[in-house]
Structure 1
Amino acid sequence: MAKPDNREDNEVHLQEHIDHTEANLQEAEDYLDEHADEISEGEKQSIQAKNERREKSIQAFIEEKKDESQQ
């Protein structure tokens, strides 16, 4: 039997995802600031690309949270 669709706490979960992703993004930026001269160019580019994906994810979470708040 399928579970009923319970969306009561979706906004809370989305905010948790936003907070977690922002924390990871900041941690990666801090790492780059502290160790940029110690890591390879490839690793720098990899971290920067991951942060770009994180920023897109954050925007998507924000949009989804807006949608949830309107329901």
Structure 2
Amino acid sequence: MAKPDNREDNAVHLQQHINNTEENLQEAEQYLNEFADEISSNEQNAIEAKNERRKESIQSFEAEIQDESGQ
């Protein structure tokens, strides 16, 4: 039997996703700053690209929260 579609707590879950993504973004930036001399340019580029995707995800989550709240 399928579960009913309960969207009451979607905004809360989306905010948790934002918080987690922001934390991962900050940790990656800190890693880049602390170990800039020790990591390869390939790894640095990969981390920077992932951080750009994280920023895009945060924007998407924020837009979804606005949609959920009816604004």
TM-score (norm 1): 0.96
Q: How does 1:1-71 map to 2 (within 5 A)?
A: 1-70=1-70
Cα distance in 1 for partners of 2:70, 2:2 equals: 25
- The CA RMSD measured in Å over matched residues stands at 1.1
- The aligned length equals 71
Between the aligned residues of both structures, percent identity stands at: 69
- Structure 2 residues not aligned, in runs of 5+: none
Cα distance in 1 for partners of 2:54, 2:70 equals: 25
4+ residue runs over 6 A deviation: none
Offset at residue 3 of structure 1 (A): 1.3
